[in-house]
Amino acid sequence: MIGISLSPGVLTDNPNQEADKRLLDAYGGSRALLRGFRALGVGSIELRAVRPDTPREMTAACARAVLDAGLCLTIHATLAELSARAFFATVAPALELLPADHPTVPITVHSARTGSATLDRAATIRLLRLWGEYAERKRMNVVLALENNRIHVSGLSIVECDGVMATVREVGRPNVGCCFDFGHLYSNFLTYPECTPFLPPDGFLQAAVHTHIHGVKGITHYPLLDGCLPLEDYLRHLRAAGYRGIYNLELESGRFWREIEPREGFELSVERLKSCLAELEENRE
């Protein structure tokens, strides 16, 4: 299944930047946009992002728009110092709307940012373990996905695939896995090839429960134009590791709208992803 990340502003026809307004205008509003994406073969929408201060009514409105369009829902949330009850309270308005037969919902988070590598790792493990235990106890149909990130000068500590994989292993819960962000890995490889392998370790791929897919052209979250991402290589290795989840496009119109119209960027990316997946399926047969 192919997915697309969209902001609350886009999903509620209340864009907060010109690029998102252009995307909505090109389709004629959020309802038409979601219908258009579904017609292209998109099956799910990731709500990006639900934060601790996101109004509950906003979360519910976004989820309702996605489900009313006949699409599945995934969520990008924020790992913060919250109790399990408080964390899930921010996403509950969406989860409560899901039909009984809805697929398991990946909830993607980045690692903690405390300014200390040791504390980042400890906080991330502690929170994911607490949240995973709570979700299982409450029989929530969710899986938490820790995402590999870009190497930042500000010092995010758990960014590379090895670190994410080791953290998830230490959490040790069946409902906690990895989110493979293609664009972040490729950006790190281009910028720091001396310490970033071209491909993730097999253990990371085997623990993947969700994906974020975007090109790199000086910046990340760019459309999947030729030369912007080794898409075929990443997809082939991910599928060989047994992944059968959502292939989620995570584009940011604000990063490319002056070069490519947002609607064109999204549609080109969907078509390229569809083509690559179809080719892999044909070769497998």
* Number of domains making up the chain: 1
pLDDT for 157 equals 61
For residue 166, what is the domain's CATH number? Answer: 3.20.20.150
The residues with which 145 forms a beta bridge, in sequence order, are 108, 177
Residue partners of 28: CB distance under 8 A and separation at least 6: none
Express each pLDDT in 8-63 by its tens digit.
Answer: 999 999 999 999 999 999 999 999 999 999 999 999 999 999 999 999 999 999 99
pTM for the full predicted model:
0.97
Range of the domain at 258: 2-284
Task: List Cα–Cα distances, 53 to 50, 69, 73, 77, 133, in angstroms.
Answer: 8, 26, 20, 11, 23
Task: Report the candidate in 41, 49, 284 with the shortest Cα–Cα distance to residue 179.
Answer: 49
How far apart (Å, rounded) are the C-alpha atoms in residues 152 and 81? 21
Q: Is the pLDDT of residue 155 over 70?
A: no
Express each pLDDT in 231-278 by its tens digit.
Answer: 999 999 999 999 999 999 999 999 999 999 999 999 999 999 999 999
How far apart (Å, rounded) are the C-alpha atoms in residues 19 and 4? 16
Express each pLDDT in 88-111 by its tens digit.
Answer: 999 999 999 999 999 999 999 999
**Residue 70 is encoded by which pair of tokens?**
């006949």
Task: Report the candidate in 219, 225, 227 with the shortest Cα–Cα distance to residue 266.
Answer: 225
